[in-house]
């Protein structure tokens, strides 16, 4: 892990441990509610793991705090500014792409704003999120292929789409040029402890 990833992993680990202890839960209790292994939780709390977005979603939902609260510093002011380059890079593709969470709201109805860069050949896959999750995507640069359940669509710069996030979906860049898109995720009822399985390539 590079320095930025190491720092983020340590911060996430500290927040998970703090929230777990606040609830007076053991590692085993959180593991059961979140649907992740005890070993993974130990690694996350120690900052020794670079967990997938899916794993972070399961943990944050189990704790009832939402993904943005898990990866961002708490703010007392009503205005939360994320300067360019300060977002939490929660996914890094094999070809060098990045999925960066740049802003979000508090639970129970969480809205996340992401800045995605997909290098040529990059692909991010996710299983279904919580029931009722919706996603909005707009391509800023290049071309991406969006797969939602059994459907596949090609989107060019300026194109936008809304789709259900509670079914399996994927974003890919099959072209020879870099692609960038903005993604907004609406996840209702965070903290219910009933996340679907989510996985990331």
Distance CA 170, CA 197 (A): 15
Q: Does 195 map to a domain?
A: no
**Does residue 136 share a domain with residue 172?**
yes
Residue 8: phi and psi, rounded to 5, are -65, -45
pTM: 0.71
DSSP letter at 7 equals H
Question: Can you spell out the DSSP letters for 24-84?
Answer: T--HHHHHHHHT--HHHHHHHHTT-----HHHHHHHHHHHTS-HHHHHS---SSS-----T
**Does residue 178 share a domain with residue 92?**
yes
pLDDT for 73: 57
- Burial class from Cβ neighbours inside 10 Å (0-12, 13-18, 19+) for residue 42 reads middle
**Does residue 183 share a domain with residue 93?**
yes
Range(s) of the domain holding residue 97 = 88-187
**Does residue 179 share a domain with residue 151?**
yes
DSSP letter at 197 equals P
Distance CA 104, CA 177 (A): 29
What average pLDDT score do residues 127-135 get? 91
What average pLDDT score do residues 113-123 get? 97
Band of pLDDT at residue 196, cut at 50, 70 and 90: very low
Give me 125's structure tokens: 């896959």
**Does residue 94 share a domain with residue 64?**
no
Q: Does 63 map to a domain?
A: yes
Distance CA 139, CA 158 (A): 5
Q: Does 38 map to a domain?
A: yes
**Beta-bridge partners for 114:** 101, 183
CA-based end-to-end distance of the chain: 17
Query: Which CATH number characterizes residue 55's domain?
Result: 1.10.260.40
pLDDT for 74: 52
| Closest C-alpha among 62, 24, 173 to residue 54 | 62
Query: Which CATH number characterizes residue 103's domain?
Result: 2.60.120.10
pLDDT for 99: 95
Report the run of H or E that residue 138 belongs to, with start and end: strand 134-141
| Closest C-alpha among 162, 52, 177, 53 to residue 118 | 177
**Does residue 60 share a domain with residue 116?**
no
CB atoms within 10 A of CB 59: 29
Inform me whether the pLDDT recorded for 192 exceeds 90. Answer: no
What total of structural domains would you count in the chain? 2
pLDDT for 79: 73
**Does residue 113 share a domain with residue 171?**
yes
Domain termination residue (choose one: 16, 36, 71): 71
**Does residue 100 share a domain with residue 67?**
no
Query: What pLDDT digit, counting tens, does each position of 40-71 carry?
Result: 999 999 988 778 888 998 899 899 888 888 88
Query: What pLDDT digit, counting tens, does each position of 24-46 carry?
Result: 999 999 999 999 999 999 999 99
**Does residue 99 share a domain with residue 150?**
yes
The answer, yes or no, to whether the previous bond of 108 is cis (omega within 30 of 0) is yes
């Amino acid at each position: 892990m590079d320095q930025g990833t190491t720092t983020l992993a340590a911060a996430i680990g500290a927040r998970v441990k703090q929230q777990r202890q606040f609830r007076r839960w053991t590692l085993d209790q959180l593991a059961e509610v979140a649907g992740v292994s005890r070993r993974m939780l130990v690694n996350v709390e120690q900052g020794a793991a670079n967990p997938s977005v899916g794993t972070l979603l399961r943990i944050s939902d189990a704790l009832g705090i939402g993904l943005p609260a898990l990866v961002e510093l708490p703010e007392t002011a009503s205005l939360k500014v994320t300067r360019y380059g300060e977002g939490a890079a929660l996914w890094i593709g094999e070809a060098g792409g990045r999925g960066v969470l740049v802003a979000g709201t508090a639970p129970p109805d969480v809205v996340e704003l992401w800045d995605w860069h997909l290098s040529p050949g990059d692909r991010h896959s996710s299983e279904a999120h919580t029931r009722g999750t919706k996603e909005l995507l707009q391509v800023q640069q290049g071309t991406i292929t969006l797969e939602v359940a059994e459907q596949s669509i090609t989107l060019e710069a300026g194109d936008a789409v809304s789709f259900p996030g509670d079914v399996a979906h994927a974003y890919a860049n099959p072209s020879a040029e870099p692609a960038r898109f903005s993604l907004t995720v609406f996840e209702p009822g965070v903290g219910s402890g009933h996340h679907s399985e989510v996985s990331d390539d």
